[in-house]
Amino acid sequence: MRILVTGGAGFLGSHLIDRLMEQGHEVICLDNFFTGTKRNIFKWIGHPYFEMVRHDITEPIRLEVDQIYHLACPASPVHYQYNPVKTIKTNVIGTLNMLGLAKRVKARFFLASTSEIYGDPEVHPQVEEYRGNVNTIGIRSCYDEGKRVAETLAFDYHRQNGVDVRVARIFNTYGPRMQQNDGRVVSNFIVQALKGIPLTVYGDGSQTRSFCYVSDLIEGFIRLMNNEEHTGPVNLGNPGEYTILQLAQAIQAKIDSSVPIQFETLPKDDPRRRQPDITKAKTWLGWEPTIALEEGLKLTIDDFRDRLSSQ
């Protein structure tokens, strides 16, 4: 099968490409390298079934493919707030371009949406039927609302033009190849602890997140894309709920217990609780996470340690 992965040089995209290449597919990686890096896909460059295209999806492109995994968009607050107008253009114009491509070539289209569409949720845990509590004019809305519009576009193309769509709502994911400067809580804590600087916890650390290891998430992607019955949206994430302070303490204990924890002011619109209800993923896809946080953190810390030591 010939498969396009937008954002393929990024954290999630490169892990997805690994799986698709190992399964014997022809893979086209499309990336503008705003947050992605060639290092993530270097081992496939030169492979006869792999093609790398430097391209910004806000511009149209013509390709012949059977499936499209649409992952392209900066996903961490540091990066999507750096250029919020570009972020929303990527989510809206970029998604329009990819859906237009799917329509023309009759490809199945997978949208990597996000738990951020639930905003600061008033329903816990979050089920797919929950419509969210999002600040439309906040500093995070370029991403939150951008992904909500991307979902709207996907289902409108499905209803109006018959495009075969799949929509996944991704909850916090971590693992090897996370960027050191992406501002996500797992990478922040690991880098700080390895460098011996205080771990920055915002607020009192009582806000919660659920952490899914990257290999589990990619398995969910592939199962949803190849499911013949359900379009989604489907929550993909680990239902284990941890406070940010608990995460900081776990990483502190694994790396250097002498590194202190430093409390800072909570950012605006930071969600208080985040936990997926994965009943649909279990029922429709036979999917649930298998990697415990303890195991996943060890693998992620080892990867960061190796990269930092080689710099």
Catalytic positions, written as ranges: 143
Handedness of CA 297, 299, 301, 303 (dihedral sign): negative
For residues 200 and 259, the answer to whether their CB atoms sit within 8 Å is no
Q: Distance between CA 269 and CA 260 in Å, rounded?
A: 26
CA 245: distance to chain centroid?
Answer: 22
For residues 267 and 303, the answer to whether their CB atoms sit within 8 Å is no
- For the packed helices 185-195 and 293-309, what is the interaxial angle rounded to 10 degrees? 50
Tokens 């900081």, residue located: 248
